[in-house]
Amino acid sequence: LTRFYPAYHVWFQVVIAGIFMLVGSYVLYKQPKEIASFIFYLSCIGTATIVTMTWGTAKTVPVWLGETNRALFHLAYGIVPVLFVHFSMVYPVNKERKLKYLLIVLYLLAVLFFSINFASWLLVRNSLTAENTLVYVKMFDHSRLFILAMVILAIGIFIHSYVKTGRIEDRKRLLWLLSGFLIGPLGFVTLWVIPQALTGEGLVSESFVSSLMLAIPVTFTISIVKYHFLDIDLIINRSLVYIIVILFFGTVYFALLIGLSILISENLELKTAAFVIVIFSLVFHPLRNRVQSEVDRLFFRVRYNFKESLIAFQKLSLPGFTDRQIAGHLASSLLTNIPLGRLLISEYESSVKHKDLYFSSGDEVRLPDKLVVENMVYSRRGSIESRIDHELLPEEIEDLDLTVLISLPLTPGRQLVLALGDKRSGFQFSGNDIEFISAMAKSSADAISAIKLREDLVRKEMEKGRLEELNEQKSLFVSSVSHDLKTPLTSINLLAQQMKRKQDIPEERKNEYLDVIIGETERLTRLIDNVLDFSRIERGISGHILQLTDLKEVIRKVLGLMEYQFKSENFTINTSITEDTTVINGNSDALVECLINLLTNSIKFSGKSKGAELTLERSGGEAIITIIDKGIGMKREEKDKLFTPYFRSETSIKKRIPGTGLGLSIVKNIVDSHEGRIGVESAPGEGTIFKLYFKVAK
């Protein structure tokens, strides 16, 4: 007799069996409490048993050793396929209870095949005849069909688990298992079991088939112990690409070789190989890129769509958009690629604890006005693939119907916050999902940051211009106040000195001097009161105590206080006072100051026409005070700035009309504090009309 297996094959099988046993023991050591680890360990021991023992007859001395060898071989041949099916039922999610009766039937079938095969083998051993051998071979072929059925069943259960699970971790683990099954057991069945059953010989050597089985311990160990050791999606993706490219060049090579050999009737293998190498070097990269694109599009559609959407989004002219338009484009892209139950996009400004909502979809959910988060990813427990660095959702939004929160920096003190609800599919957020969302959000954040920086720059320039204008106005204010204070003081000083030098001034003239001094003093008092009132307004403490006040009495008091000024300026004031009730809830002193400021302006801007009309009327539930002058008037654009502090019209500056620019801002403040309103009509050269509206007290 000659040795059936060469020595190197025997040692190769021993090495393979040792790898199976070591890997199975390692997995059981790493996760001893997992039922899946124990079943995998038994599967590895059983596979090692099959690898190291043959299915033929054995003339072993002693006899019991040969019989034990054959018994273990046939037992492993029947049980190991069922162990793999059992493994598929408990990993990554345990479904054993739902399928326990099927599992019992399969184990009984495995024992049945073992019993029949072993009995057939014993028959051959005891009586080596052609008839007995044929019976044994037929029974063993049925075992091979059973193995094929178990492999297909296990793959089917794994595929079903892959489709049903929503956890990314489970999907990654199942991909590792499926890749191992496709390379190992399925390769064993298609390249060895089925060909042997049909032709008596395998398509490849037994050593090669045994080496394919090593895919089982490698891929299963990675799946059970450390599924994210390598990116299985990327491995499958690249494998498909290079297999297609290699098959293409192999086809080209053999087609050229056969075609040219037929035409020339010469062995052109070397020349053809050289020619194919030249073609290979020229078209490999463009062909690989093209195949990569097609593989992504056909087999990795989600990743392909993500990449295309990101490229399209980045091509948008984001700098030409507003921040809200950018947020709208971001939301549209995200919701198109990842159907979400809810999406909110907000900007948080930490310094002022301010939130600006850019976009909101789904049911109304309000993010808190104050949210302290770092620039990272947050999620609920178990809602995101574990390999992604993330923290649990902040306490402020734990009670909201949100799943993932992503925060990115905008400008110092500002953050862009994306809050996402569950995926409509019910699946976890995968690493691809988070990477896509983060990349889209990063592009948006960069564009919004650029907008914010430009706005801040423009705002600072405007603020600078406003401060310069304000500084100029305050300088003019100081100059005007100085002039307005100096004029009455000069009159008072001159008259006081004249009264001191001349002792024989007639009594009538002396009373005139005293009237002027009192009038100028009152003018000074009003000027100082204006400055003090505006100072209180700026500090926010200009509140007035309101009580029942008759506007008729207010007007009479104003006319009395301004009698000297009307007389000194030769200014005529015509009045028309209604007999109706004009009692309001007001502050008499504030209203007096208000009317004095308006009448003073009428005097200053009267031009050649030295006069004005003052009327008080009742209209419905309102009392209306109207002051009409025929002065120089103002331009339409100046009306918008009329109540701005320190504002002086262009005409008043050119004609050097005195004033501080505070009077009308004080008027506006007083009217507002009385819940009234003020109207202005004016045109250059046609005078000005002021109307004050107050609610009559009930």
pLDDT tens by residue, 196-209: 767 777 777 777 77
The pLDDT assigned to 363 comes to: 62
- Please indicate, yes or no, if residue 470 is contained in any of the structural domains: no
Report yes or no: 636 and 503 within 8 Å, Cβ to Cβ.
no
Specify the CATH number for the domain of residue 351: 3.30.450.40
Whether residue 587 has pLDDT greater than 60:
yes
Specify the CATH number for the domain of residue 643: 3.30.565.10
**Selection from 55, 146, 148, 151 nearest residue 109 by Cα:** 146
216 shares a domain with 71: yes
- Please indicate, yes or no, if residue 260 is contained in any of the structural domains: yes
Instruction: Note the pLDDT tens digit of each residue in 6-41.
Output: 777 778 888 888 988 998 898 888 888 889 889 989
The domain tally of the chain equals 4
What's the rounded mean pLDDT across residues 249-267?
A: 59
Q: How confident is the model at residue 136 (pLDDT cuts 50, 70, 90)?
A: confident
pTM: 0.46
248 shares a domain with 170: no
Instruction: Note the pLDDT tens digit of each residue in 459-470.
Output: 888 888 777 766
Q: How confident is the model at residue 111 (pLDDT cuts 50, 70, 90)?
A: very high
- Please indicate, yes or no, if residue 467 is contained in any of the structural domains: no
85 shares a domain with 143: yes
User: Tell me, what DSSP letter sits at residue 56?
Assistant: S
Burial class (CB in 10 A: 0-12, 13-18, 19+), 364: exposed
180 shares a domain with 34: yes
Strands 377-379 and 391-392: parallel
User: Tell me, what DSSP letter sits at residue 696?
Assistant: B
Helix axes 232-264, 269-299, angle to 10 degrees: 150
What's the rounded mean pLDDT across residues 83-95?
A: 88
Cα angle 649, 651, 652 (rounded to 5 degrees) comes to: 65
The pLDDT assigned to 127 comes to: 82
- Please indicate, yes or no, if residue 68 is contained in any of the structural domains: yes
| CB proximity list for 273: less than 8 A, separation 6 or greater | 253
The pLDDT assigned to 322 comes to: 81
**Selection from 143, 135, 144, 83 nearest residue 113 by Cα:** 143
312 shares a domain with 176: no
The pLDDT assigned to 625 comes to: 93
223 shares a domain with 253: no
Whether residue 261 has pLDDT greater than 70:
no
3-state secondary structure of 676: coil
The pLDDT assigned to 692 comes to: 93
Instruction: Note the pLDDT tens digit of each residue in 327-374.
Output: 888 888 888 888 888 888 888 876 555 567 777 776 666 777 777 777
Count of C-beta atoms within a 10 Å radius of residue 96? 12
3-state secondary structure of 379: strand
- Please indicate, yes or no, if residue 583 is contained in any of the structural domains: yes
320 shares a domain with 282: no
The pLDDT assigned to 532 comes to: 65
316 shares a domain with 376: yes
Q: How confident is the model at residue 551 (pLDDT cuts 50, 70, 90)?
A: very high
- Please indicate, yes or no, if residue 521 is contained in any of the structural domains: no
Residue 173 structural domain: 7-230
The pLDDT assigned to 251 comes to: 66
204 shares a domain with 261: no
The pLDDT assigned to 109 comes to: 94
Burial class (CB in 10 A: 0-12, 13-18, 19+), 162: middle
Whole-angstrom distance, CA of residue 525 vs CA of residue 532: 10
- How far apart, in Å, are the Cα atoms of 579 and each of 95, 443, 550, 551, 693? 95, 71, 12, 11, 17
- Please indicate, yes or no, if residue 551 is contained in any of the structural domains: yes
Report yes or no: 610 and 577 within 8 Å, Cβ to Cβ.
no
Q: How confident is the model at residue 115 (pLDDT cuts 50, 70, 90)?
A: very high
Lowest mean pLDDT among 59-73, 171-185, 274-288, 642-656: 274-288
- Please indicate, yes or no, if residue 477 is contained in any of the structural domains: no
What's the rounded mean pLDDT across residues 69-80?
A: 89
The pLDDT assigned to 2 comes to: 45
pLDDT higher for 220 or 319? 220
214 shares a domain with 67: yes
Lowest mean pLDDT among 48-52, 99-103, 509-513, 688-692: 509-513
Instruction: Note the pLDDT tens digit of each residue in 439-455.
Output: 888 888 888 888 888 88
Whole-angstrom distance, CA of residue 66 vs CA of residue 72: 10
**pLDDT exceeding 70 applies to what percent of the chain?**
73
Tell me which of 408, 439, 457 is where a domain ends: 457
The pLDDT assigned to 623 comes to: 93
291 shares a domain with 217: no
Tell me which of 428, 457, 486 is where a domain ends: 457
What's the rounded mean pLDDT across residues 76-98?
A: 88
Tell me which of 210, 230, 250 is where a domain ends: 230
Q: How confident is the model at residue 240 (pLDDT cuts 50, 70, 90)?
A: low
The pLDDT assigned to 599 comes to: 87
| Preceding omega of 81 cis (within 30 degrees of 0) | no
Whole-angstrom distance, CA of residue 644 vs CA of residue 662: 8
284 shares a domain with 195: no
The pLDDT assigned to 297 comes to: 54
Report yes or no: 355 and 336 within 8 Å, Cβ to Cβ.
no
pLDDT higher for 393 or 7? 393
pLDDT higher for 296 or 192? 192
